[in-house]
């Protein structure tokens, strides 16, 4: 009788093991699927960051190209030069460029969620510095306050941004900053050269 009982117990354990196996296989498959999904989401986020960087820096290069091709306009944005007393030929170009710069800054601001905090804080520091040194940009924002979201205007006109250090450099960040590299690199180098 004990042999029959032992066989029954053995068969019962084997049946229970067979019943548990699909559950365990299913659970493992779910875990593997979740890991795969997490990797895909991470890769999509990195791809979005790369596309954001590319788009923002393409616009930045266009802006710098404009300053390179029209150097007389640059002091209105980086040198504190005012439109007061400016001849009529320069004033319309400066006003149009002020709108372009502000639209570019608004675009950067709206993409903040696709940037690393380090990168976004660098852009905030840069935008504030340009706003601070450009009477034309300040005049544009004051003239059309309803064109831009209040949080954007508050961000570029404020001296602090929650989560951002206040001692940032005034040049746009580069991708190298996100990797922890230091020194001259990327758009910051171009911006520095054109500011001189």
Average pLDDT of 40-54?
71
* Nearest Cα residue to 159 out of 120, 119, 117, 129: 129
- The pLDDT > 70 percentage for the chain reads 65
| CB 170, CB 129: distance < 8 Å | yes
Summarize pLDDT for 112-167 with one digit per residue, the tens.
888 888 888 999 999 999 999 999 999 999 999 899 999 999 999 887 766 676 55
Q: Which residues contact 127 (CB under 8 A, 6 or more apart)?
A: 105, 108, 109, 155, 156
pTM, whole model, 2 decimals? 0.63
What are the start-end ranges of the H helices in 111-185? 117-133, 135-143, 150-157, 175-178
* Nearest Cα residue to 187 out of 171, 168, 166: 171
pLDDT score at 54: 74
Average pLDDT of 3-13?
57
pLDDT at 31 over 70: yes
- Range of weakest confidence among 39-43, 134-138, 159-163, 172-176: 172-176
Query: Which has the higher per-residue pLDDT, 31 or 150?
Result: 150
Residue 193: pLDDT band with limits 50, 70, 90: very low
3-class DSSP assignment, residue 96: helix
Rounded to the nearest 5 degrees, what angle is found at the Cα of 163, between the Cα atoms of 128 and 101? Answer: 25
pLDDT at 176 over 80: no
Residue 192: pLDDT band with limits 50, 70, 90: very low
pLDDT score at 186: 35
Domain boundaries of the chain, sorted by first residue: 50-195
Average pLDDT of 29-46?
78
Q: What is the C-alpha separation between 134 and 76, in angstroms, rounded?
A: 6
Query: Which has the higher per-residue pLDDT, 66 or 174?
Result: 66
């Amino acid at each position: 009788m004990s042999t029959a009982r032992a066989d029954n117990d053995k068969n019962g354990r084997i049946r229970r093991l067979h019943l548990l196996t699909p559950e365990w296989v299913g659970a493992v498959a779910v875990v593997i699927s979740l890991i795969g999904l997490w990797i895909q989401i991470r890769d999509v986020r990195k791809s979005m960051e790369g596309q954001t960087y590319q788009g923002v820096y393409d616009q930045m290069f266009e802006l710098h190209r404009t300053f390179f091709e029209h150097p007389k306009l640059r002091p209105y944005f980086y040198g504190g030069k005012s439109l007061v007393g400016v001849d009529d030929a320069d004033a319309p170009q400066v006003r149009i460029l002020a709108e372009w710069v502000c639209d570019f800054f608004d675009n950067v601001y709206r993409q903040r969620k696709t940037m690393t905090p380090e990168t976004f804080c660098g852009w905030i520091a840069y935008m504030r510095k340009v706003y601070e040194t450009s009477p034309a940009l300040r005049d544009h924002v004051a003239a059309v306050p309803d064109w831009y979201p209040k949080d954007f205007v508050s961000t570029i006109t404020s001296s602090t941004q929650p989560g951002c250090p206040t001692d940032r450099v005034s040049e746009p960040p580069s991708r190298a900053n996100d990797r922890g590299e230091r020194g001259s690199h990327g758009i910051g180098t171009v911006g520095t050269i054109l500011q001189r």
